[in-house]
Copies of this chain bind each other. A is one copy, B any other.
């Protein structure tokens, strides 16, 4: 949906007008300063069956955990939250999924309780923008891992709304801001999607028509197809919504989508106001704690002041005026709206991915199958099993480092623009960041989906138990591939930007890449000439090989995509048609390769600054992720002539298998660093004590009613008789 906001905002058309210079990206804090922080707040792990594979690790898992978190205070905050919630009965796990309605009730109560815990302290609240936001993101992640529904409700209901007020609204909306973020009197929702329009916001049909006589907007839904839908918090709980509707002037002129604050429910009674028909969407595949709703407006009136008027306003008399003042601020704000939600989704993905692989790896290390009596073989010893899982473990680490670093870079830019600092090349940076986010969100969310499935299968039948938690992880994660911009549609946006850069590089013009993610395109002709020359796997297991192969691949796919696109244009197709006809095998693969390259590039920079003891394992994980991902691009590597003959594929795949073998001794400790506490991970198959069957026994035996005769026995007896 935010994709649509992106389009809505870019339709404001000022973005292209701002041209300034963008500073070199600040390098991240070194964390190799060797002073050993006190990590005793991280609970120790009980000795047990997993020791065999823990004792072989080359590093201390707590230090890796800190390093992956990137910030001691934030890690402490996370553990504090987990510790508190573990002791609160309201956050106890359910052995049996409660009814959909009950999930909504519990989730709303949890939301209220989290507010009461005041995890966002005054100190956090008053700290710098980037510090505050990172803390809020951490809280969000900590809560998400316990109940994804509650974190989504919080993100939409409080943060998305209040940020939107700041970025799209003006002083007159401050009262809403305070009521939301400070007094929590408002619980908001975000109403963009309509029944018949999702990815394409342009054609949405809800209208807000100005009535100059009463100085009000009249909001109206022409028919069911134009009902706003999927709106989180709307079904049962929100008091206000941030509505996107076509702004129509009294003379009928349509000025396009604008944002409005619209009251929905009386905060004291939760009764919806007359003029609204508000329904709950009913049961979904997952996140059933969220009350997604739909709404139809029947000539519903709101004050003129409720238009978010930072970019454009309607005067009392009914004059439409756009206000292009302070463009850099608006831009930064726009950027934030575009990307913050998606960065949040990527962080949540990292957590879901980490949880899934932690469960499967711990299971693999404690579950044996085949071999001899008294000497059965742990699954983790099988090449096939390593190959099925370790690539995802590597991805979990690489993504986490990537997003941590990327969020930093991003928040610094937004902060500067908030503070009115002159950010060089702001508009170019905004576009580049948008491209990066638009391809990275698909990469992270899809990889996590795949991983969740593979991990479930790797746990065999026991993985199919609800109490394994792999089913819920997947179902709750699943909508992230669709919301905040459908992945397939988002990738197209990243591709647009890449093609523009490629065109510039071909024409010898400057690249608009202040973050330097495609700086190498300047040398695209030289890069196109390199090819696979390695003669052993050692030569492949290098950052040099991985990064240069990716560069070649991106240049090749850009060329392929560009030529196809141009050829179609030459045939007389419109840009839109030509784009559609060059997605498959081209645009799609291109943006995928670019997103993997980004993850690798950012991770590499970070790893080099990590403490020494962690470097070997991090480099192995980096290398595995790189080669494992390149393996999936082998067709293009062959097609483009980078690889020729039998050797390249054989060596590349051999290198992947060698790395898997190498990582066997590390991987259990790696997941110790990735996993949350046992309570949060909530999987009967993967408690950190490694007592697989004792834990399973406790869960099965303790399941409510497990040993009782069915209460309905009389209805089915005589049993199944003909």
Contacts and interface: CB of A to CB of B under 8 A. Distances in A.
Interface of A: 95-97, 99-101, 104-105, 108-109, 111-112, 115-116, 118, 157, 182-185, 187, 193, 195-200, 203, 224-225, 229-230, 236-237, 239, 265, 267-272, 277-286, 291, 294, 368-370, 373, 376, 382-384, 387-388, 449, 453, 456-457, 460-461, 463-467, 470-471, 475, 478-479, 481-483, 486-488, 576, 580-581, 583-585, 588, 634-636, 638-641, 643-646, 648-650, 653, 657, 693, 696-697, 699-701, 703, 705-707, 709-713, 715-722
A463 B456 CA distance: 22
B183 A722 contact: yes
Contact of A461 (B479, B650, B709): B479
A456 B482 CA distance: 10
A638 B641 contact: no
Contacts of A693: 195-196, 224-225
Contacts of A583: 382-384
A716 B101 contact: no
B270 A237 contact: no
A99 B704 CA distance: 13
A236 to B, nearest CB: 4
A612 to B, nearest CB: 33
Contacts of A717: 267-270
A467 to B, nearest CB: 7
Given A279-B706, A280-B703, A706-B279, A482 B457 contact: yes
A65 to B, nearest CB: 29
A653 B639 CA distance: 12
A256 to B, nearest CB: 13
Given A99-B96, A634-B635, A370 B200 contact: yes
A471 B461 contact: no
Nearest to A1: B461
Given A461-B193, A710-B105, A466 B267 contact: no
B460 A284 contact: no
Given A716-B109, A722-B182, A705 B483 contact: no
A140 to B, nearest CB: 16
Contacts of A97: 100, 283
A71 B271 CA distance: 58
Nearest to A716: B108
Contacts of A267: 717-719
B460 A198 contact: yes
A236 B280 contact: no
Contacts of A482: 457, 460-461, 463-464
A289 to B, nearest CB: 13
Nearest to A236: B710
A187 B100 contact: no
A25 to B, nearest CB: 33
A258 to B, nearest CB: 18
A719 B239 contact: yes
Contact of A280 (B100, B195, B271, B705): B705
B387 A584 contact: yes
A634 B195 CA distance: 41
A280 B483 contact: no
Given A282-B465, A383-B583, A384-B584, 15 more contacts: A95-B282, A95-B283, A97-B100, A101-B711, A108-B716, A109-B716, A182-B722, A183-B722, A185-B719, A265-B719, A268-B717, A270-B710, A457-B487, A638-B649, A640-B646
A270 B96 contact: no
15 contacts: A96-B100, A108-B712, A268-B717, A270-B709, A270-B710, A279-B703, A286-B471, A383-B584, A384-B488, A384-B584, A387-B584, A584-B653, A634-B638, A638-B639, A640-B646
A466 B112 CA distance: 27
Contacts of A229: 461, 700
Given A461-B193, A693-B196, A721-B183, A700 B294 contact: yes
A646 B641 contact: yes
Given A294-B700, A460-B198, A649-B635, A283 B466 contact: yes
Given A281-B700, A641-B646, A105 B715 contact: yes
A187 B713 CA distance: 14
A566 B581 CA distance: 47
A709 B236 CA distance: 7
Contacts of A109: 715-716
Contacts of A470: 285
Given A283-B466, A719-B187, A720-B157, A460 B199 contact: yes
A712 B465 contact: no
Contacts of A111: 720
A291 B225 CA distance: 42
Contacts of A384: 488, 580, 583-584, 588
A565 to B, nearest CB: 13
Given A200-B370, A271-B709, A383-B581, A722 B488 contact: no
A545 to B, nearest CB: 18
A691 B478 CA distance: 27
B203 A376 contact: yes
Nearest to A115: B722
Nearest to A278: B707
A662 to B, nearest CB: 15
The 7 closest A-B pairs by CB, nearest first: A285-B471, A638-B638, A283-B466, A282-B703, A279-B706, A384-B583, A639-B649
A716 B466 contact: no
A371 to B, nearest CB: 8
Most buried by B among A268, A456, A576, A584: A584
Contact of A464 (B237, B478, B699, B719): B478
Nearest to A587: B384
A167 B345 CA distance: 55
A237 B282 contact: no
Contacts of A456: 285, 478
Given A115-B721, A717-B269, A721-B183, A198 B369 contact: yes
Given A280-B703, A383-B584, A703-B280, A270 B643 contact: no
Contacts of A118: 722
